Chains A and B, each alone.
Chain A
Amino acid sequence: KAGVTQTPRYLIKTRGQQVTLSCSPISGHRSVSWYQQTPGQGLQFLFEYFSETQRNKGNFPGRFSGRQFSNSRSEMNVSTLELGDSALYLCASSWDRGAETQYFGPGTRLLVL
């Protein structure tokens, strides 16, 4: 099976702009989680989607949002970008809700200038 894929892989934006990142899970996986990775804070949970519904959300401001489509592909959006949003954004898929074993995509590296 193909692994988790994410697009784009790299992105440069300026403060105040918005960005949309995409994640395609492993075929057959229905749960997608998003994480932010920074040198200072490590890997932090953003949100989880299952069956097009957000099931859990981490401690991030409302500027961070996401959605999931009927084919399980997911997007996350960050509005009004801030310098501190520069990070590696990783998505992970698992076969079902509550399935703990997660497989990560390669990530999207976002740089906010």
Chain B
Amino acid sequence: GENVEQHPSTLSVQEGDSAVIKCTYSDSASNYFPWYKQELGKRPQLIIDIRSNVGEKKDQRIAVTLNKTAKHFSLHITETQPEDSAVYFCAASKNSGYSTLTFGKGTMLLVSP
């Protein structure tokens, strides 16, 4: 089955810096890659996603890049703010007729003022 590796497990940055979280996946058939943000005690919330026919997608301060050949994708957050502090999860899914996500283990991002 699919396996998703996520790095780093923790990331500390200063407010205004950029943060990058990287994920690799094992199943070349995977074609949908969402990112979720989970604040303490809250539900995971979808912040951005990308499909395999697109190399990059941007939404304000957040961007995701995908390298299908290398089977890795990354989340980029620019001009970080304290409210960006949370755990971020990457996930992968393939269009197999099932709505099944395989998640990475998560990255705890801490943005210091």
Contact = CB atoms under 8 A, between A and B. Distances in A.
Ordered nearest first, which 10 A-B pairs have the shortest CB separation? A43-B103, A100-B32, A98-B97, A56-B98, A42-B105, A104-B43, A94-B99, A100-B93, A106-B43, A104-B44
Contacts, number: 68
B11 to A, nearest CB: 16
B32 to A, nearest CB: 4
Contacts of A100: 32, 34, 49, 93, 95, 99, 101
Contact of A98 (B49, B99, B104, B105): B99
A64 interface: no
A107 B32 CA distance: 24
Interface in A18-38: 31, 33, 35
Contacts of A50: 99
A63 B103 CA distance: 23
B103 A98 contact: no
B46 interface: yes
B100 A90 contact: no
Given A98-B98, A100-B93, A105-B43, 20 more contacts: A31-B99, A33-B99, A35-B103, A42-B104, A42-B105, A42-B106, A43-B103, A43-B106, A45-B102, A48-B98, A55-B98, A92-B101, A98-B95, A98-B99, A100-B32, A100-B95, A102-B34, A104-B36, A106-B43, A107-B43
